[in-house]
Chain A
Amino acid sequence: QVQLQQSGAELVRPGTSVKVSCKASGYAFTNYLIEWVKQRPGQGLEWIGVINPGSGGTNYNEKFKGKATLTADKSSSTAYMQLSSLTSDDSAVYFCARTARATAMDYWGQGTSVTVSS
């Protein structure tokens, strides 16, 4: 069965970076894109960007350029999102989701909570 397993919750200091992982299983990793979504506490969903694990190609929401960096490792079927220069505004739950052009975001990870606090 298709699964996206995300890394555990992070408590990080302001100004540092964090790397969230999303390990895919149950399907051909390079046949689907991986999208990332941010959700602040009690708020809605915000699209961060997308990566094509096969080519490494990415597309970012302008708002997250310089903040998020998306990568993927085909050998381990894992997608990554690094968030840099963290502030309290980055405290949120981050989700990864699998996408094909036909059925976008049909499977989601369980979410990774990132808390930025000194």
Chain B
Amino acid sequence: DIVMTQAAPSVPVTPGESVSISCRSSKSLLHSNGNTYLYWFLQRPGQSPQLLIYRMSNLASGVPDRFSGSGSGTAFTLRISRVEAEDVGVYYCMQHLEYPFTFGGGTKLEIK
């Protein structure tokens, strides 16, 4: 199975500042079709997860452009600029390249 690692269990941030959340995969998520099958989700407290970024760098519908995704085949970053209180929650990366699909352990964004 592909192992997804989010090294930081939590990240504190001051409103208005920017923050980066990292994720690594044990195998390249770059498909031969040129797409990288890495996804980012936000789970706010008491809610279902919400898709933020698909195929590493594409913003999901309705997601503010303060969110952006980047990376290589095995190292990925979710960047949130101008953090707001509503951004609080747990951020998960997920590989959707091969079965079984796997999630990172999550990084909790906390407001200072």
Contacts and interface: CB of A to CB of B under 8 A. Distances in A.
Interface of A: 35, 37, 44-47, 49-50, 59-63, 95, 97, 102-106, 108-111
Given A44-B105, A105-B39, A95 B49 contact: yes
Contacts of A35: 101
B26 interface: no
Contacts of A46: 103
B51 interface: yes
Interface size class, chain B: 20 to 34
B8 to A, nearest CB: 14
Given A44-B92, A45-B92, A105 B51 contact: yes
B100 A44 contact: no
Given A44-B105, A104-B54, A109-B48, A59 B39 contact: no
B48 A45 contact: no
Contacts of A61: 99-100
18 contacts: A44-B92, A44-B104, A44-B106, A45-B49, A45-B103, A45-B106, A46-B103, A50-B101, A59-B99, A59-B100, A61-B99, A95-B49, A103-B58, A104-B37, A104-B39, A104-B51, A104-B101, A108-B49
Contacts, number: 63
A110 B50 CA distance: 11
Interface of B: 37, 39, 41, 43, 48-51, 54-55, 58, 60-61, 90, 92, 94, 96, 99-106
A118 B20 CA distance: 45
Contacts of A97: 49
A110 to B, nearest CB: 6
Nearest to B39: A104
A35 B94 CA distance: 13
A110 B99 contact: no
A102 B55 contact: yes
A104 B60 CA distance: 10
Nearest to B61: A106
